[in-house]
Amino acid sequence: MDSVSESGGGGGASESTAEGCSSATGGGGGGAPPSRYESQKRRDWNTFLQYLKNHKPPLCLARCSGAHVIEFLKYLDQFGKTKVHASPCPYFGHPNPPAPCPCPLKQAWGSLDALIGRLRAAYEENGGRPESNPFAARAVRIYLRERLVPPPPPPPQIISLKQPQPKTTAGGGGGGDDPALPPPPSTTAASTTV
């Protein structure tokens, strides 16, 4: 197993080989513990390097492309917790299906987007050039955008919001059935003025 040594300095590049590729972990400041973001970024970077090392055939970071990054994201889907229903699934469009189905679990879009952001930064912090950053590749952006598109909503149920208007049969005074006119005055004897 390839070990990665951490430097105590501020973000220096410490060497590690994954099939002849150099990488670094990007250390924190001297003495202060790294932030949660920095710790997660380091774990993500090490996970990606391990993925490259275990890839058949093993990949060198220098030869890594956007297609390899997408392959890595698809590999991570097996550890996801978000159920994604396919269109033939009877529970497609239901947020809480009543029974289990064979649809796959996937990584949530937000998790993948954040992961790519951290790996993009880690790549450049570890000596990679921004113009050759595989995590910033157009193919990766398109892949994430396509994953963002939510499935179509279930067909709407048609509910009539109009209440039927009662028809008046006894109309006095020629007002007709026009609802804009006030009702005719009552013909009951109220009080008479003398």
- Does some domain include residue 75? yes
pLDDT for 121 beyond 50: yes
Q: 17 φ, ψ to 5°?
A: -110, 130
Distance separating alpha carbons of residues 43 and 39, to the nearest angstrom: 6
- Indicate whether 15 belongs to any domain: no
Radius of gyration, alpha carbons of the chain? 33
How is residue 139 written in tokens?
């193919």
* Rounded average pLDDT over 94-119: 87
Segments forming the whole domain that contains residue 57: 36-93+102-148
Task: Evaluate whether residue 61 is within a structural domain.
Answer: yes
Domain contains 126: yes
Nearest residue to 25 (alpha-carbon basis) of 35, 39, 37: 39
The pLDDT assigned to 6 comes to 34
- Identify whether 128 is part of a domain: yes
- 156-167 confidence digits (pLDDT tens): 666 666 666 777
Does a structural domain hold residue 156? no
Whether 175 is covered by a domain: the verdict is no
Task: Indicate the number of domains in the chain.
Answer: 1
pLDDT bin (cut points 50, 70, 90) of residue 154 is low
Q: Is residue 176 part of a domain?
A: no
Angle at 55 between CA 59 and CA 72, to 5 degrees: 95
pLDDT of residue 5: 34
Residue 94: pLDDT band with limits 50, 70, 90: confident
Assess whether pLDDT exceeds 60 at residue 108: yes
CB of 41 closer than 8 Å to CB of 118: yes
Go through the chain and tell me how many residues it has. Answer: 194
- Predicted pLDDT at 28: 47
**Segment among 37-41, 75-79, 127-131, 182-186 with least mean pLDDT:** 182-186
